[in-house]
């Protein structure tokens, strides 16, 4: 409060300002994590594939004015968007250059994809020893379920939340949001 009783607002530095995050993600889990980082001040560079971009752009309700879904507008806010063909040698070289100047990489590809692309942890760590790699997948990077899809409805069913939603005399229902993707995915 000021001496005249008016409220004083102080601008504070956001806790992740100064960090650069490189996002190799699609749909919800990885992009949700990087959106939170961007909201806390990190510079987030989202990599999309040429032509189609992130599938979330066309998921569910699409705004006819922008051509993008409302989910997309939410998940991509505060991010810098680039197109990069990770299927080409040139695209991989650009990804390596971006990794060299990043603090964190978040990826939510199917386990083994980064290795197939030539962007394994060993390669990335050699390029940038201070780099942090966050890997988001439904069942982790190893183990018997690693190759299974990690969609929210599966996680909700396995975790039991689908059992307790809805009416007792009817089949289970969705929780309304992709709860399992936001709070329960392994990294």
What's the alpha-carbon Rg for the chain, to the nearest Å?
Answer: 19
Cβ neighbors of 36 (< 8 A, separation 6 or more) are: none
What would the DSSP string read from start to end of 146-186? TTS---HHHHHHHHTHHHHSS-TTS-----SS-HHHHHS-B
Q: Average pLDDT for residues 74-90, to the nearest whole number?
A: 94
Q: CA 126 to CA 50: how far, in whole Å?
A: 27
Q: Over pLDDT 90: what percentage of the chain?
A: 50
Most confident among 59-73, 84-98, 130-144 (mean pLDDT): 84-98
Tens-place pLDDT, residues 20-33: 999 998 888 899 99
The pLDDT value recorded for residue 181 is: 52
Please report which residue ranges of 50-110 form alpha helices under DSSP H: 70-75, 89-100
The pLDDT value recorded for residue 2 is: 58
- Backbone φ, ψ for residue 121 (5° rounding): -55, -40
The pLDDT value recorded for residue 12 is: 62
pLDDT band, residue 187 (cuts 50/70/90):
very low
Q: CA 133 to CA 179: how far, in whole Å?
A: 23
Sequence spans of domains, the chain: 20-136, 141-187
Burial (CB count within 10 angstroms: exposed 0-12, middle 13-18, buried 19+), residue 26: buried
Class of domain 20-136: alpha beta
Mean pLDDT of the chain: 86
Task: With CA atoms as reference, report the closest residue to 93 among 121, 116, 118.
Answer: 118
- pLDDT value at 184 more than 50: no
Q: pTM higher than 0.85, yes or no? A: no
Q: CA 166 to CA 149: how far, in whole Å?
A: 25
Burial letters 80-102, b for 16+ CB under 10 A, else e? eeeebebeeeebbebbbebbeeb
Q: Which two tokens stand for residue 110?
A: 């199917």
């Amino acid at each position: 409060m000021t001496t005249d009783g008016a409220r004083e607002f102080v601008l504070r530095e956001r806790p992740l300002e100064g960090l650069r995050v490189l996002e190799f993600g699609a749909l919800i889990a990885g992009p949700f994590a990087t959106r939170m980082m961007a909201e806390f001040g990190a510079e987030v560079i989202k990599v999309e594939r040429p032509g189609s971009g992130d599938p979330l752009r066309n998921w569910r309700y699409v705004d006819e004015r922008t051509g993008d879904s409302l989910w997309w507008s939410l998940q991509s806010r505060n991010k810098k968007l680039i197109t990069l063909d990770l299927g080409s040698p040139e695209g991989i070289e650009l990804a390596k250059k971006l990794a060299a100047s990043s603090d964190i990489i978040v990826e939510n590809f199917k386990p083994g994809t980064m290795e197939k692309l030539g962007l394994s942890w060993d390669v990335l760590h050699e390029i940038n020893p201070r780099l942090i790699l966050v890997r988001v997948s439904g069942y982790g990077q190893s183990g018997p379920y690693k190759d299974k899809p990690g969609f929210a409805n599966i996680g909700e069913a396995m975790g039991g939340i689908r059992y307790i939603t809805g009416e007792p005399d009817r089949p289970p229902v969705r929780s309304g949001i992709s709860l399992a993707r936001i709070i329960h995915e392994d990294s």
